[in-house]
Amino acid sequence: MSTFKPRDWGSHAPYIAPGYKSTLLRGPTQAPLAIKSGLTEGTGPRFAPASVRELDFDLTKNGVVNGEPLGERIVVHGRVMDTDGRPQPNILVEVWQANAAGRYVHKVDQHDAPLDPNFRGSGRCFTDDQGNYKFYTIKPGAYPWGNHFNAWRPNHIHLSLFGPGFATRLVTQMYFPGDPLLDLDPIFLGTEDAAARERLIAKFSIDKTEEGFALGYQFDIVLRGRNGTPMEN
C-alpha cells in the first residue's frame, strides 16, 4: 500500500478566510497536527456499480416530472488524475447544483427564484478506465447570499470525490469561464494562490460541445499523488 504525498496547502484556502464570514466561527484556529500517512490513509471506500443508476449522470433527465428542465443544457467532461498525471479510474463523482434560476431544491434555500419541477440538481457518475467522467446538466444560475451587501455567488457546480484513498477526499466547486462574479466571491477568492484558483474554472470546449444539443465544458480534477516514482509521460 503506497501512501499519499502530503497535502499541498498552497493550493488550498486557509481555514479562516476573513472575507468569507462563516469561516470566522467555524474554521479550526489551531494548525492541524501532521501525522505519518499509513495504512489508514492509504485505504478508502470504493463503490459498487449499482451506486450509479442509468440516469444519474444526466441531471437534465433524472428529475423530470412532466417536461424538460428550463435553462441552458451543458455537458461537463473531465479527467480525474493525480499530481503526477496518473489517471484515476473508477472514481465516484457526486455533483449537486442550483437550477438555471439560481435556486436549490434544498428546503432551507430561501432565495425567491423559482424552483423547476423538472430539475432536482443532483447526480453522480464514475470515471472510466482513463479517469474520464461526463455528466449532462443545466447551467446553474447565480444567486444572492448573506455574506455581505449585494453578495452573489458565481455560477457553480459542487463536486465530491473520495479518490483512491481516504486521504485524497475532495469536495470542490466548478466555476465557469468569464464570470464577472468570480473576482467578487470570497469563497472562490478564499484560495489565495491565483494559479490554483484558475484550476477551479472549467474551460469552454467547442470539441465537447454537442451539435444542436449542449455546450461543452472541460473540468479536470487533480488529487494528491502517491509517494514513489512519478510516472513518465
Partner 1 sequence: MAYGETPSQTVGPYFAYGLTAGQYAYDFTDIADPTVAGPDAKGEHIRITGTVFDGDGNPVNDAMIEIWQADADGNYNEKPIDVADTGFRGLGRCGTGTDAKLRFWFDTVKPGVVADAEAPFVNVIVFMRGMLVHAFTRFYFDDEADLNAKDPVLQSVPADRRDTLIAKRVETPTGIEYRIDIHMQGDAETVFFDV
Query: Segment 42-61, which members bind partner 1 (CB under 8 A)?
Result: 43-51, 53, 56
Q: Which of residues 110-139 bind partner 1 (CB under 8 A)?
A: 120-124
Q: What's the rounded Cα separation, in Å, for the pair 217 and 177?
A: 9
- Does 206 contact partner 1 by CB under 8 A? no
Active site residue 79: no
Active site residue 104: yes
Three cell numbers, residue 170: 475532495
- Does 34 contact partner 1 by CB under 8 A? yes
Pairing of strands 221-223, 73-82: parallel
Question: Between 144 and 173, how does the x/- string for binding to partner 1 read (CB under 8 A)?
Answer: --------------x-x-----xx-xxxxx
DSSP 8-state secondary structure symbol assigned to residue 4:
B
| CB of residue 122 to partner 1, shortest distance in Å | 4
Q: What's the rounded Cα separation, in Å, for the pair 123 and 137?
A: 9
- Does 230 contact partner 1 by CB under 8 A? yes
- Does 178 contact partner 1 by CB under 8 A? no
Within 13 A of 183's CA, how many CA atoms are on the CB side?
4
- Bridge partners of 115? none
Q: What's the rounded Cα separation, in Å, for the pair 103 and 110?
A: 8
State the catalytic residue, choosing from 104, 133, 136, 175: 104
CB atoms within 10 A of CB 106: 11
Question: Between 62 and 101, how does the x/- string for binding to partner 1 read (CB under 8 A)?
Answer: -------------------xxxxx------x-xxx-x---
